[in-house]
Structure 1
Amino acid sequence: MAQTSLGATSSSGTPSSGTAQAWAALGGDPTLLGRVRYEGTGGLPAELPVMELARSSVAVCALAAAELAARRTGGQVPSVRVDDGAVTAAFLSDRLVRVDGEAPTTFAPLSRFWRAADGWVRTHANYPHHRAWLLAGLGLPGDAGVEAVAAEIGGRRVAEVEETVYAAGGLAVAARTPQEWAAHEQGALAATHPLLTIAPVDASSVREAAGQPPRGFPDLTGGTLLPAAGLRVLDLTRVLAGPVATRTLALLGADVLRIDAPQLPESQEAHNDTGMGKRSTRLDLSDRGGDRRTFEELLESADVVVLGYRPGALDQFSGMGPAELAVRNPRLVIAQLSAWGGYGPWGGRRGFDSLVQVATGIAAIEGDAEQLGALPAQALDHGTGYLLAAGVLRALTEQADDGRARLVRLALTQTAAWLVNGLGKGPAGETVPYDPEPWLTLTDSPMGRLRHALPPVSFAGGPVNWARPSGRWGTDAPEWR
């Protein structure tokens, strides 16, 4: 296989400051950082410290997995190995995946940068309904193409495009510098929030859960150390951070069942990458008959629920708030992921990695006076995904002490703030060609011969690959294994 055009940077053997920052945000024991060692070379060069974000998020995920494994076995925390080559391949996994040699489509024609009258705008229209809402917001017919959209946006101011498209349900974000984002109300609020939070569910209706006995785990069996074995995860997420997190929990032994609404389309190409180790079904939660009843039965015996829809999207379904979920299942770990943080004027807006990059000034930093840039991978998505998995694992470890329901919260904009303001520039390191081939593998799948990146989460005695490949999206039975 040909080498990629990305340069590679060598890592040192000792834990990085980024790992220490993320581990502290997770509430982890700082003495465990000595269990982590880096090696290898990676290839995510950028103006911002993307490789540091990548290796640190993977490192704390692996360390949280090792910590939970030790809690379940009563042994020592296994050593953690972070290979920058494996981390790079994993962060590029959505681009490297192949089925019978065929590459996926990454962005639709109307998902791109546009020149407006007074600046740049980025849109996201990969899904048919997002494309329709974008065109409606611009007052264009449903069959309008790139030229028509370019002409329409070119005659408008960026603020007008951003607001009118969002009012129509679509996704468009005006490009800002880091300084402009810091002065924006949403950006100013984001600056006051931590990278992530893990806390007991705080609601008077679940105070009785405080008296729950510590969580009990089934004994681990088999030759491979799987810290999430025996745990059940309901996956209500869509591209890309949430599925990366639940894919990681599946790697670690959890029974992960992804649930999608029948009326929402999904990309099989995306699922080829993020569906590893999981099963996927479709349930209509608005159906008060069979589908909702099936979901309630699954929820009763779930250990973890991961919610990746925009804040408020599930409000129409009663009983889906964190406190309500915890009342029904007092030992539940609830993980909430959003684009903009679930607070402020943009708290309920849809968002994707590419849009958060543009809003927070990352695109300006990575570009120049003539053209905005982008990170070498969807690093906000992937990094947040590994942090989310780490948060779930740490919450499970904490439950072993008090048995209380936990709420884990993350947002792409908080990860962006960490990248821009928290990690520092750091040394560039030695630049060498990067070839992902050593961290790719082939396996048979229902779709055909599947090439995918190997998991970067690695600790002594742990898994080296998923137990099963991705399947066809939405075709599995809605039941636990």
Structure 2
Amino acid sequence: MRSTPTRLLDQAWRALGGDPADRAPIGFTGPAHTMSSALPVTALGQASIGAAALAARELGAARGESDPAPVVLDSRAVAVAMSSDRHLRLAGEPLVSMHPLSRFHRSADGWVRLHGNYPHHRAAAFAALGVDSVAGAIDALAKLTGVEIEELLAAHGALGFAVRESAEWAVHPQGAAVAGIPLLDLTRTDAGDPWCPGPSPAPAAGVRVLDLTRVLAGPTGTRTLAHLGADVLRVDSPHLAEIPGEYWDNAFGKRSTLLDLRDRADRARFDELLAGADVLITGYRTDAMAALGLDHNTLADRHPGLITAAFNAWGPGPWVNRRGFDSLVQTACGIARIEAGEDPHPAALPTQALDRATGYLLAAAVLRALTLRRADRRGSRIDLALARTARWLTDAYTPGEAEVAEPFDPAPYLTETETEAGRLAHARPPFELPGLPAAWAHPPVPWGSAEPVWRHG
């Protein structure tokens, strides 16, 4: 029996600690399959977005909205939102593209997948392999085993992983570590100052969110919080370039500033922001955040009541501090083989579904933590990982015929917005609540263009 969005939403809502009785106000409409896949990707999208919508509705009710309306999720809107980068157009031109290094390549004993979209990751991969071109990299990879490639690239700060069967991942130390933990963790911390905002059509209105995330899970979650009214300030290092398409797709409703957290003056400005924040979300490696004093324990001690959310590629285990992206988690955990079916060449999901689903779960967890904080002033620590979401998806898999999407016109789920860079065609938010605009209240602003200050207060 294939997993339904209702079944997966029940699982997500339980993982979030939600009341099962609150699951009723979500309805699903549209075709059963809007993304073609061997795995239940349409249901995954509906369930993760549904969890965010439920949590938003719950927070609105806690703030005094007298009769929150039910939420209806259309599977076509979900499919467009889950693949929003593919619908993005700036002045009519697509923005997102993959570098030729970022694909499957032959190894001496099978297949590997690399990621080289960012220049510094590309340079690290070339250095590790002792080459200066993609062609040279392909030749070098073919002489090494998948495990040798993983270790060599990791030692140089580059990214590449062997294609594994699901059974191989299950006995791998990292796969076993992920199998033994829940979909996500939401743990309460000490109480801080009262947080008692009044009623608002925007459930997260007045919430200040510091966003230390990059492609794609974190930005997906924080753009959802921005749509729900939060003041989201994204903070990037001025020394790390950003890919324009990745930025513009996820910048709706937010502001963007540049601070070097290793610079004394910039760190002082960041700490001022942190002192006024309700939520801090980080998507970098656990060890990198700990070195900056931005780990859960340090933050809980210094900022009682703060909600901290952290996610990474692999979750706890031997790979906790390894870099990773959605496509690479698919590769390592068996999804690439499941999607391939009988084809010896590995395949990918129809969209970056692990990133998107994790992002919506992130938003749901933050919203639930805000509801809890309003009641008891206590903060929360939230942990997620792409590999944990991958486990959720593969556990829902039933071998058999692949899901074939019913064709549909995406136009009703798209809109256009004028930005400082030009006219941007993009996806609409996948769900609506009474009183919220159908699209984001604020258009994207250029990367790094905002002052490091809060909008409110």
What residue number does 1:464 align with? Answer: 438
TM-score by length of 2: 0.95
Offset from partner CA, 1:233-292 (integer Å, 9 cap, x none)? 00000100000000000000000000001111111221110000000000011111x211
Shift in Å at residue 218 of structure 1? Answer: 2.4
C-alpha separation between the residues in 2 aligned to 1:197 and 1:377? 25
Where 1:314 maps in the other structure, the secondary structure is helix
Shift in Å, 1:172:
0.7
Within 2, Cα distance between the matches of 1:22 and 1:321? Answer: 25
User: Could you list the per-position Cα deviations for residues 71-117 of structure 1 after superposition, in whole angstroms to 9, with x for gaps in the alignment?
Assistant: 00152443111111111000110111010011023211111110011
The residue aligned with 2:34 is: 43
User: In terms of mean alpha carbon deviation, does 173-182 or 418-427 score higher?
Assistant: 418-427
| 30 and 401 in structure 1: CA distance in 2 versus 1, 3 angstrom threshold | same
Partners in 2 of 1:392 and 1:75 — Cα distance? 22
- 1:156 Cα shift? 1.4
Shift of 1:136: 1.1
Q: How far 1:458 sits from its partner (Å)?
A: 2.5
The match for 2:156 is: 168
What does residue range 339-354 of structure 1 map to in structure 2 within 5 Å?
Answer: 339-341=313-315, 343-354=316-327
- Partner residue in 1 for 2:176: 188
Instruction: Give the structure 2 partner of residue 4 of structure 1.
Output: none
Q: After the TM superposition, which of the residue ranges 296-305 and 144-153 deviates more from structure 2?
A: 144-153
Greater shift in the superposed pair: 262-271 or 416-425: 416-425
Q: 2:337 aligns with which of 351, 360, 364?
A: 364
Tell me whether 458-467 or 301-310 shows the greater mean CA deviation. 458-467
Q: Match of 2:432, as an amino acid? A: S
Amino acid in the other structure paired with 1:292: R
C-alpha separation in 2, matches of 1:71 and 1:388? 19
Query: How many Å separate the matches in 1 of 2:402 and 2:164?
Result: 26
Shifted more, 359-368 versus 67-76: the winner is 67-76
Task: Give the equivalent residue in structure 2 for 1:20.
Answer: 10
**2:211 corresponds to 1:220:** no
Q: What is the total number of aligned residue pairs between the two structures? A: 451
Q: Which amino acid aligns with 2:199?
A: L
Q: 1:429 to 1:127 in 2, by over 3 A?
A: closer
Separation in 2 of the partners of 1:139 and 1:33? 54
Q: Residue 314 of structure 1: CA displacement? A: 2.2
Gaps of 5+ in 1: 1-10, 202-208
In structure 1, how many angstroms separate the alpha carbons of the residues matched to 2:427 and 2:384? 25
Q: Distance in 1 between matches of 2:290 and 2:54?
A: 34
CA separation of 1:32 and 1:357: change in aligned 2, threshold 3 A: same
Cα drift, residue 430 of structure 1: 8.1
Which one of the candidate residues 19, 23, 37 is aligned to 1:33? 23
How do 1:51-130 and structure 2 match up within 5 A? Answer: 51-73=42-64, 75-130=66-121
- Greater CA drift, 51-60 or 99-108: 99-108
Secondary structure of 2:406's partner? strand
Equivalent position of 1:270 in the other structure: 246
- Larger mean Cα displacement after TM superposition, 417-426 or 301-310: 417-426
Q: Hey, what does 1:158 align to over in structure 2?
A: 146
Match of 1:455 among 411, 419, 429: 429
Q: Gapped runs of 5+ residues in structure 2?
A: none
CA pair 131-83 structure 1, distance change in 2 beyond 3 A: same
SS at match of 1:371: coil
Match for 1:265: what amino acid? Answer: A
2:381 equivalent among 384, 403, 407: 407
Task: Report which stretch shifted further, 100-109 or 23-32.
Answer: 100-109
**Deviation, structure 1 residue 145:** 2.2
SS in structure 2 opposite 1:315?
helix
Counterpart for residue 5 of structure 1: none
Q: Tell me how large the CA RMSD over aligned residues is.
A: 1.8
1:463 and 1:38 map into 2 onto residues whose CA distance is 21
Counterpart amino acid of residue 154 in structure 2: Y
> Match for residue 311 of structure 2?
337
The correspondence of residues 434-445 of structure 1 with structure 2, limited to 5 A, is 434-445=408-419
Amino acid at match of 2:322: R
Q: Does the aligned pair in 1 maintain the 2:126–2:133 contact within 8 Å?
A: no
Pick aligned residue for 1:433 from 407, 414, 422: 407
The verdict on how the C-alpha distance between 1:43 and 1:422 changes in structure 2, with shifts beyond 3 A counting, is: closer
Q: Pick closer, same or farther for the CA change 1:53–1:431 going to 2, 3 Å.
A: closer
CA displacement at 1:426 relative to structure 2: 9.8
Deviation digits for residues 344-383 of structure 1 (CA, Å, limit 9, x no counterpart):
2111000000000000000000013421010000000000
Contact 2:38–2:403 (8 Å) recurs in 1:
no
Aligned CA distance change for structure 1 residues 366 and 242 (closer, same or farther; 3 Å): same
Give the one of 204, 207, 225 matched to 1:231.
207
Letter in 2 for 1:234: L
Offset of residue 434 of structure 1? 2.1
- Contact conserved, 1:285 with 1:291, CA < 8 A, in 2? yes
Using the TM superposition, give the Cα deviation of residue 421 of structure 1 relative to its aligned residue in structure 2, in angstroms: 0.8
> Separation in 1 of the partners of 2:28 and 2:161?
37
* Cα distance in 2 for residues equivalent to 1:60 and 1:463: 20
2:238/2:260 contact within 8 Å kept? yes
Q: CA deviation at 1:455?
A: 0.4
Secondary structure of the residue that 1:262 maps to in structure 2?
A: coil
> Which residue in 2 is equivalent to 1:325?
299
Question: 1:134 and 2:101 equivalent?
Answer: no
CA distance in 1, matches of 2:408, 2:251: 26
1:427 shift after superposition: 9.4
Is the Cα–Cα contact under 8 Å of residues 61 and 457 in structure 1 kept in the other structure? Answer: no
Matched residue of 1:27: which SS?
coil
- Amino acid aligned to 1:311: T
